A and B are shown apart, each in its own frame.
Chain A
Amino acid sequence: MRSAWEAAARVVDPEIRALTIEELGILREVSEDGGRVTVTITPTYSGCPAMDAIRADIERALHAAGYPQVRVTTRYGAPWSTDWITPAGRAKLAAAGMAPPGPAGARGPVPVALTVRCPRCGSAETEQLSRFGSTACKALWRCRSCVEPFEHVKAL
């Protein structure tokens, strides 16, 4: 039987399907107590609508791995940061055409322009089209070299 952590860790994020929840850094804790498994996850953004789907997917994955009693809890603190995306996760994001985030934490209320490299051609000649993208965690960018639009996971 696969360990409960391994089973939960293989669940794929429903909105960024290139990553597992472990690579995204939202899987915080998996504990077993007399056959009952408690999985603790953290939201990327407070209002992330994928959380309900992720909870259901975790339950399904653990049931399939032989754990009938599963509880999924949400923990807010410490808040998730894009710094928690694993190196493997970053590589997968880039391979899927999404520019991975830069380091978080240097942000203030004053806008700071940081160059984002095009995940397709590697050019630094890029521009932001919109700071809010198709999901809460992404911004929409365009490469001026290869003229392709791309998504960028915002540093948080």
Chain B
Amino acid sequence: MSFPRWLKTLSILAACLMLTGCGDSQESAQPQQTAQDGFAGLGAESQGFVQADASTPLMFPEDHGAHPDYRIEWWYLTANLEDSQGEPLGLQWTLFRQALMPPQERPALTPWAADQVWMAHLGISQHATHVAAERFARSHSAQPLAQQRSQQRSEQRPQQRSEQQGQAGVVAAPFHAWIDDWSFRSPPDANFERFSLSAYHGEGDARSGYDLTLHAEGPLVWHGENGFNAKTIQGQGSHYYSQPFLRIEGSVMLNGESRTVQGRGWLDREWSSQLLTAEQTGWDWFSLHLDDGRKLMAYRLRGGGENGTDYRFAHLFNAAGQTELIGRDSIVLTPLTTEQVAERDIPTRWQLTLPEANLEFTVEARHANRWMPTTVPYWEGDVVVRDTPSQDQIGVGYLEMTGY
């Protein structure tokens, strides 16, 4: 007797409610609340996991791949593009990994058993239009990434392709990060030098996504000693490097309309077991391409500094990837204008001052409507950089704001 369909449906729906329930609890992690685990649980207990520290040097190509012994990790691409009419267009593609348990508590490798959860976000924005999509998947870190299926099965189905892979994962060389049909990969002969990225969501008029080719035109940049980037004064932090010199071309589909694009991209790689302290509730993160070829990565972690102040960091480097300045307490990040987005007050115009480099920028969102209404919601969008005294545009970039 087969299981009644309506009952099945009901159970599924009940489960869905649970999932959205989880989303709710994270959504309510407002800065003013005493959120125990910081934003999106990034400050949660990390016992049993390998801790990020400055003594572990980065190793390539291994570090392009996943680090399942660390609790959290991401592959984060943002791009400032222009279509053939010269209209600016911004996009992001992010793959997040989170370990469910420390390595020693992993369940045995059986079908469906998982120790890693993957979440991917796609975002495309132009003018007032902004689309977002997300995907989830589970995997087991002991699962061979190119799997050999059991003898019996392959005999039964000789027609199936030889390369079997899980629903999501990241291989270091040749680099391949995927979840479902979203794929970000390098060819074997140009690992982490050339990439292709393909991700689409929706059908017909609601279909959005992109097919992009990316070329690295500069070196990888490490944000700290050995690529370790401290995030609190207590020393919590992450392994953090970037590929900020990406030249991008390809096509972007926005709500069923396709267009050719080209422009610049920035890929962030970061992993850690405890990124934030429990007191840190969110951040404001800038990655800016200046027209003079220099790049700036700057952030402010709200809380977690000395006496509960904000923790700030800025890294200015030149077109060759050489560090010009690492700023900490001296940098100033001031919200100038806030706008109502998704029933929240979001700063959409910032004053950014680096006294040591004698730089004073105004960073302005191209449009306030860049809210990512995903399970873990945040604001992420393309920005224009202006020289504060003259108000001339001197660059473009991306801004991410969480915990609002």
A and B associate: no
